[in-house]
Amino acid sequence: MARIVSLVIGLALLGAAGIHAAESPAKQAGLDEFVKARSERRYANVPRKVLAFYYTWYGTPEGRGRWDHWEGVNAEKREIGSSTHYPALGAYDCYDTRVIETHIGQAKSHGVDGFICTWWRQNDIHDKALEKVLAIAAKKNFAVTVYWETTRSGRNDPVGQAASDVLYVLEKYGSHPAFLKLDGKPVIFVYGRVMGEVKANQWPEIIAAIEKKYGKDFLLIADGYSDRNARAFDGIHQYNPAGALKGKAADEVRAWARDLFPKVVQMAKDRGKIACVTVIPGYDDTKIRKPGLRVERHDGQTYGALWEEAIAAGPDWVLVTSWNEWHEGSEIEPSYEDSEKYLTLTGKCAGQFKAKR
């Protein structure tokens, strides 16, 4: 039901030794040529941004005729069986334009520049919700892009499916005034699941097919901190560091981030690519997974420490996991339990991040 957590920091799909060992000399040469060509794509003076992962899979009987992703809703007790906390808005419907307007208004007024919206396949519920989010974002000067989640609908033809999906997004949304762009080029984030579903030697074919039909340039930001990803893609990010932060006290969280974040930024900058680091308020998926995983919020100290170390490291973009992944308890959206604590902290830290050069 909920998304899978990116637990491994070094998701080095394009650098995995086993992959290279299995390649034929011709395929390896083609892959090396592809990586070399992509290495020449470099980005300087990238405007600083704060982007939050955003989920449009929630539905209500009033909006969609059934509950989607909300289970065991008890409004009186402010409890939801599939959610760690209870939203300040209650169990809402992501097709409701009033909800989207509220979310974008809250995010923008607290330093968030855009949403990275979950996107699974063409014409599904997330795709239809994306249209609504983009329309409202355009009116509020707010950026939106997609988090490309999977190619699983093309198991028999992952290359064709991957190319088709990205081309669909670019042709339908890439020129939208609200779609996230850098130097006029649409930006798409690639989740680790896709990185695992697509083989290393398939990326040249996928990207070539998209470029041929689209006829314009676009950017892909890969999930996984590795030098190979930094060379082959336009930027690197990590969805969720929860696996590395499990059981850590606030000072240990800070020490972890102080060690990792500068290395990530340097890795990306050495290759001239977009550097992204991720901050989370906490994490708790024990309501939906057994035994599950939990990262303590420490009353805001986890979030604050990660933000402070992110600011010190100086990435191009800070990614917030998440705006509203309620199943995994990583949301900064106002809740019954925390009110606007994490929204307020986001506004403070985002302002400091953008002011620092």
Q: Indicate if the alpha-carbon torsion angle 73, 79, 85, 90 is positive or negative.
A: positive
Per-residue pLDDT at 154: 62
CA 319 to chain centroid, in Å, comes to 7
The residue behind tokens 């499916």 is 161
Which residues, including other chains, have CB under 8 Å from residue 14's CB and lie 6 or more apart?
Answer: 31, 35, 200, 203, 226, 228, 229, 231, 232
Beta strands, E only, the chain:
49-54, 114-119, 143-148, 181-182, 185-190, 219-223, 235-237, 274-279, 283-284, 294-295, 317-320
Strands 283-284 and 274-279, sheet pairing: unpaired
Whether 143 is covered by a domain: the verdict is: yes
Q: What is the pTM of this model?
A: 0.94
Whether 54 is covered by a domain: the verdict is: yes
Count: domains in the chain: 1
Phi, psi of 122 (to 5 degrees): -65, 135
Per-residue pLDDT at 23: 60
Cis amide linkage into residue 241, ω under 30° from 0: no
Whether 1 is covered by a domain: the verdict is: no
The residue behind tokens 């405007």 is 47
Q: How many other CB atoms are there within 10 angstroms of residue 75's CB atom?
A: 10
Whether 6 is covered by a domain: the verdict is: no
β-partners of residue 72 are: none
Whether 297 is covered by a domain: the verdict is: yes
Instruction: Quote the CA–CA distance of 57 and 49 in Å, as a whole number.
Output: 25
Tokens of 166: 């990205």
Q: How many other CB atoms are there within 10 angstroms of residue 53's CB atom?
A: 25
Whether 155 is covered by a domain: the verdict is: yes
Degrees to nearest 5, angle at CA 315 with 280 and 140: 70
The answer to whether 238 and 3 have CB atoms below 8 angstroms apart is: no
Phi, psi of 177 (to 5 degrees): -60, -25
pLDDT, one tens digit for every residue, the chain (357 residues): 445 444 333 333 444 333 334 566 667 777 889 999 999 999 999 999 999 999 999 999 999 999 999 999 999 999 999 999 999 999 999 999 999 999 999 999 999 999 999 999 999 999 999 999 999 999 999 999 999 999 986 677 889 999 999 999 999 999 999 999 999 999 999 999 999 999 989 999 999 999 999 999 999 999 999 999 999 999 999 999 999 999 999 999 999 999 999 999 999 999 999 999 999 999 999 999 999 999 999 999 999 999 999 999 999 999 999 999 999 999 999 999 999 999 999 999 999 999 987
Per-residue pLDDT at 200: 85
The answer to whether 57 and 48 have CB atoms below 8 angstroms apart is: no
Whether 4 is covered by a domain: the verdict is: no
30 half-sphere exposure, CB direction, 13 A CA radius: 12
Per-residue pLDDT at 24: 66
CA 337 to chain centroid, in Å, comes to 25
Whether 277 is covered by a domain: the verdict is: yes
Range of the domain at 276: 13-355
CATH number of the domain residue 336 falls in: 3.20.20.80
